[in-house]
Amino acid sequence: MSETVTRRGAVFYGEEGVAGFTHRAFTKSMGFDDEDLARPVIGICNTFSELNNCHQNFRELAAAVKRGVWQAGGFPLEFPTISLGEIFLSPSSMIQRNLAAMDTEEMIRAQPLDAVVLLASCDKTTPAALMGAISADVPAIMLSGGPMLDGHFRGQTLGACTDCRRMTAEHAAGVLDDETYRDVESYVARSAGHCMVMGTASTMNSLVEALGMGLPGNAAIPAVDSRRMRLAEAVGRRVVSLAKEDLRPSQILTPEAFENALTLLSALGGSTNAIVHLAAIAGRAGVELPLSKLDEISRRTPVLANLKPIGTYQMEALFYAGGIPALMNELLPLLHGSAITVTGKTIEENVRGAVIDDPDVIRSRTSPVRDEGGLAVLTGNLAPEGAIIKHAAASPGLMQHRGRAVVFSGLEDLRSRINDDDLDVEPSDVLVLQNVGPVGGPGMPEVGNFPLPKKILQTGVRDMIRISDARMSGTAYGTIVLHVAPEAAMGGALALVQDGDEIELDVPNRTLTLHVDEAELERRRRRWSPPAPYYTRGYGKLFLDQVESAPRGCDFGFLRGSDPVKVGIQAKF
């Protein structure tokens, strides 16, 4: 331990009087002794839950972390924080992301921890854990639970949940019979772990490596591979040194670290959700991360990962091909190699020499999957504060398209009319869904990739331009414009679109234009009134009152920034 570091654990257990007496006595009641209490106290923040299939291996991982902590001379204490199982939460797990971040921050802040290991994996848990730990600013290492093994069905490799959507569309179109469709359910998600395509979880857990907040290899080792247990032990050993070095998130999460994350995001063709989460994480770290930075980096970064939903393979293949370290080694000329990480070394020191074992899965810069990144930022009178499109997963023929708007005022309206035989819709139209943003959704539910009308699907058409203020799952694909800001429920231009208006999407020129003159828009604006709030009390009301826009990460304004935990005597007699 550095001479200059005052350990919170040492203060807690070393206090005079009844406070120190009870701290020691009550900890000893769990079977520990003075030798244990003298060690650096390492919190293991565990988001295990039986309502989160992705985290089913977390008890074993926490045990492995503890072994590593003991080996290195630390004192591990595991504690639970909220778990967010993506498919189990409604109306949108995004609502609870900030709650989970508050839980993580406040428990780190309140307990006598010298450092923490953050065990998280499913879509919202990784950003939430990072956000909380950054605001508390104690030494912290992220440990992901790892991706599921590939699904297999009748000779096909299946991915959760890109293929859930593909199979559902095939079933709706009458191509797949009922029995086969039901059968696939048992094959698509076959093990513990998070979704194994390059969806939100795989993206966020990969970005952990680029941000410097996880050990190299963290993202891709399958959840059930014994190497993940060994990684967990290594995390346990390393976090004790991290506590002694007092290396904090505020020293690691510099503007360069976020540029590295955006570069990796582009090279992965990663999830659009990561844009929102990175903005929130950057907000906690006090780093400005405008959407223009994403577009700038995406334009100059080739896609090197040949992974679903924009490529062929899945996380298991990425692991066998060398994982994120091999990919980042190939990307080094585009990265800030000198950025410091939780290993105590730089990004370049971590990944230099990592070998690509399958050049079709991890492509070289001279033979990329795509010449530029998969994400683009659009602006125009329909999205003055920006919108996102994952053009790598979209139809090339729709990248410059002008069409007639077919408007749905919200999810209920969509559900009641989308498959109506009388719906006036053509394949060349532009489908618009309003009021599904941060406030309107609420929580920007992943509905931006809403299904096409059945009568369009039955003609063999599989994609149309869809525009909304929602998000979409990172495993989804299609010509889908998302995160339109300002959102409709806050009076953004999206709220003013009417059936029959002309909308023009121009991805090469990064514009999204509503061809309605300003005087008419102003007339519509004066007649507009906001939808009734979804929540009128409790945490939901706090969310609606405080949530910021998508470009600002949907965090609460009062949570931005950090306030490092204080080392000191408790207010207790």
State the residues that interact with ligand FES by CB under 6 A: 54, 86-87, 122-123, 194-195, 201
Cα–Cα distance, 176 to 185 (Å, whole number): 13
Q: What number of other Cβ atoms are within 10 A of residue 471's Cβ?
A: 32
Query: How many other β-carbons are positioned within 10 Å of the β-carbon of residue 165?
Result: 18
For residue 138, the minimal CB distance to ligand FES (Å) is 26
3-state helix, strand, coil in the chain (%, to 5): 40, 15, 45
Shortest Å distance, C-beta 160 to ligand FES: 6
| CB of 105 or CB of 123, closer to ligand FES | 123
Name the nearest CA neighbour of 160 among 146, 149, 176, 145.
149
What count of other Cβ atoms lies within 10 Å of the Cβ of residue 573? 6
* Residue 135 Cβ vs ligand FES, minimum distance, rounded to whole Å: 24
Q: Give, as one character, the DSSP assignment of residue 374.
A: S
For ligand FES, which is the closer residue by CB, 194 or 248? 194
Residue 402 · residue 503 · CB < 8 Å: yes
The β-bridge partners of 376 are: 389
Closer by beta carbon to ligand FES, 47 or else 350: 47
Nearer to ligand FES, 41 or 482 (CB): 482
For residue 546, CA distances in Å to 338, 385, 498, 554 come to 37, 18, 29, 9
Residue 137 backbone phi and psi in degrees, to 5: 55, 50
Q: Supply the minimum distance, in Å, between the C-beta of residue 124 and ligand FES.
A: 9
Q: Between 195 and 554, whose beta carbon lies closer to ligand FES?
A: 195
Residue number with CB closer to ligand FES (201 or 247): 201
Q: Which is nearer to ligand FES, 144 or 350 (CB)?
A: 144
CA distance 50 to 73: 32
Between 62 and 195, name the residue whose CB sits nearer to ligand FES. 195
Q: Give the nearest distance from C-beta 201 to ligand FES in angstroms.
A: 3
Neighbour count for residue 267 (Cβ, 10 Å): 32
Helix ranges, 29-177 (H): 34-37, 58-71, 94-110, 125-136, 162-172
Q: Least Å distance between CB 204 and ligand FES?
A: 9
Distance from C-alpha of 32 to C-alpha of 156, rounded to nearest angstrom: 52
| Cβ-based nearer residue to ligand FES, 122 or 167 | 122
Closest distance to ligand FES from the beta carbon of 188 (Å): 11
Task: Count how many Cα atoms sit within 13 Å of the Cα of residue 475 in the half-sphere of its side chain.
Answer: 20
Q: Residue 271: what are its φ and ψ, rounded to 5°?
A: -70, 145
Task: Collapse the DSSP code of 254 into the 3-class scheme (helix H, G, I; strand E, B; otherwise coil) and give the result.
Answer: coil
Rounded to a whole number of angstroms, the minimum distance from the CB of residue 216 to ligand FES is 22
How far is 423 from 453, CA to CA, in rounded Å?
9
Kindly tell me the sign of the dihedral angle through the C-alpha atoms of 479, 481, 482, 487: negative
Nearest to 488 by CA among 401, 411, 566: 411
Nearer to ligand FES by Cβ, of 76 and 127: the residue is: 127
**Minimum distance between the CB of residue 37 and ligand FES, rounded to whole angstroms?**
37
Task: Give me the least distance between CB of 2 and ligand FES, in Å please.
Answer: 38
